[in-house]
């Protein structure tokens, strides 16, 4: 978590238009190479790869269960992941390629709305998200993600149940893969999918977070 705080400070300095050396010092790294390496491990690219005014922008959000990295354009969210997710750098590289390197640092109006809705969510006021999403995946994967969004907060489904709901009862494994490929955590609630026996299954943000999100959402179910 201390390393994440340092990188967050560096990201903030870069997003404000600061020089790489200033961001390095703000983040508390002794050498430029250490800073570049840390940024590349987290974001998939060194600081020099990010442009001012990019088509997509990377930002940092704090939540009660850990920091999250968000990527958005002016209108929609393209990625929302916990900063310690192992697949984050790979996912960011894929977005970098998709937008042909037009990716920078900073916040958009879409992220402002997302922050408001996440705050309401974690404070137990609302589990509804209206922020527009840009879902990058196959037609099948998008059908799974839309079905996830239809699961009421406080309820869970099995992979097999999702497969039946989308009219593909034999596609349980494909549903599991689509669930794991979701790049927009919480808003596309892949944490609401559990094993057929009721056990928790793999979650990119960590099983402890999956358990915590399920517990948070029980209050919405109890409140009707």
User: What's the mean per-residue pLDDT of the chain?
Assistant: 87
107-155 pLDDT, tens digit per residue, is 888 999 999 999 999 999 999 999 999 999 999 999 999 999 999 999 9
Helices 32-43 and 2-15 cross at an angle (nearest 10°) of 100
Q: Give the whole-angstrom CA distance, residue 135 versus residue 128.
A: 18
* Active site (annotated) includes residue 99: no
Quick one: pLDDT band at residue 47, thresholds 50, 70, 90?
A: confident
pTM of the complete model:
0.87
> What residue ranges define each of the domains in the chain, with the CATH number in brackets?
2-122 (3.30.160.70), 139-222 (1.10.10.10)
Site of tokens 């974690």: 122
8 A C-beta contact, residue 49 and residue 32: no
Residue 110's CB: how many other CB atoms inside 10 A?
A: 22
Structure tokens at 175: 């549903």
Annotated catalytic residue, options 190, 194, 214, 216: 190
**Does residue 52 or residue 152 have the better pLDDT?**
152
75-98 pLDDT, tens digit per residue, is 999 999 998 898 988 998 898 888
């Amino acid at each position: 978590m201390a390393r994440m705080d340092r990188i967050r400070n560096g990201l903030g300095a870069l997003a404000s238009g600061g020089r790489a050396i200033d961001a390095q010092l703000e983040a508390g790294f002794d050498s430029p190479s250490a800073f570049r390496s840390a940024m590349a491990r987290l974001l998939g690219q060194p600081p020099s790869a990010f442009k001012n005014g990019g088509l997509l922008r990377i930002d940092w959000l704090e939540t009660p269960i850990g920091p999250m990295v968000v990527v958005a354009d002016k209108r929609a969210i393209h990625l929302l992941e916990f900063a310690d997710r192992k697949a984050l750098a790979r996912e960011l590289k894929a977005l970098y390629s998709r937008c042909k390197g037009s990716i920078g640092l900073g916040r958009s109006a879409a992220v402002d709305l997302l922050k408001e809705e996440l705050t309401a969510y974690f404070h137990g006021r609302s589990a509804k998200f209206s922020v527009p999403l840009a879902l990058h995946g196959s037609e099948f994967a998008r059908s799974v993600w839309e079905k996830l969004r239809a699961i009421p907060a406080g309820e869970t489904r099995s992979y097999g149940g999702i497969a039946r709901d989308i009219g593909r009862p034999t596609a349980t494994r494909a549903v599991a893969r689509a669930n794991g490929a979701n790049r927009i955590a919480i808003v596309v609630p892949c944490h609401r999918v559990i094993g057929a026996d009721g056990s928790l299954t793999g979650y990119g943000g960590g099983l402890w977070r999956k358990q915590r999100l399920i517990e948070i959402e029980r209050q919405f179910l109890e409140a009707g």
